[in-house]
Amino acid sequence: MTQVILNLDARLGLDKYTIDEENSHIFVNQERCDQCNTKPCLTVCPAGVYQLIETRIVVRYENCLECGTCQIACDHGGNKGITWTNPQGGFGIQFRYG
């Protein structure tokens, strides 16, 4: 029997997301982000949750892997514009692969 090795995108595609459509667990202070020169959130997030559209940071919180990397990077290399908390009970990601 041959074992299929899944790449990262295929493994993440197996995960289940339960989205809280009324409350994001990520808050972005746009004023602080506007003054941030480095914008580390755009490069450190493994799920690509943050995007720069025109001059604004846009958050696709429904794709969040809940690792907290964005807030750490923002607090230590950015302008402390991201506040990340765990999603409320029952919401968020459920990992289904390893």
d(CA 73, CA 90) in angstroms, rounded, equals: 27
Domain around 80: 22-94
Give the pLDDT score at 98: 59
| Domain presence at residue 45 | yes
Give the pLDDT score at 12: 77
* pLDDT tens digits, one per residue of 13-50: 888 999 999 999 999 999 999 999 999 999 999 999 99
**Predicted confidence band of residue 6 (pLDDT cuts 50, 70, 90):** confident
**Nearest residue to 78 via CA among 53, 43, 54:** 43
Work out how many domains the chain is built from and give that number.
1
CATH code where residue 55 lies: 3.30.70.20
| Domain presence at residue 14 | no
| Domain presence at residue 12 | no
For residues 16 and 96, is the Cβ–Cβ distance under 8 A? yes
d(CA 52, CA 43) in angstroms, rounded, equals: 11
| Domain presence at residue 71 | yes
Q: What percent of the chain has pLDDT over 70?
A: 98
| Domain presence at residue 41 | yes
- One-letter identity of residue 92: G
| Domain presence at residue 3 | no
d(CA 98, CA 96) in angstroms, rounded, equals: 7
Q: Which of 4-18, 25-39, 75-89 has the lowest mean pLDDT?
A: 4-18
pTM summary value? 0.83
**Predicted confidence band of residue 58 (pLDDT cuts 50, 70, 90):** very high
Higher pLDDT, 32 or 95: 32
| Domain presence at residue 17 | no
**Nearest residue to 32 via CA among 79, 74, 83, 84:** 79
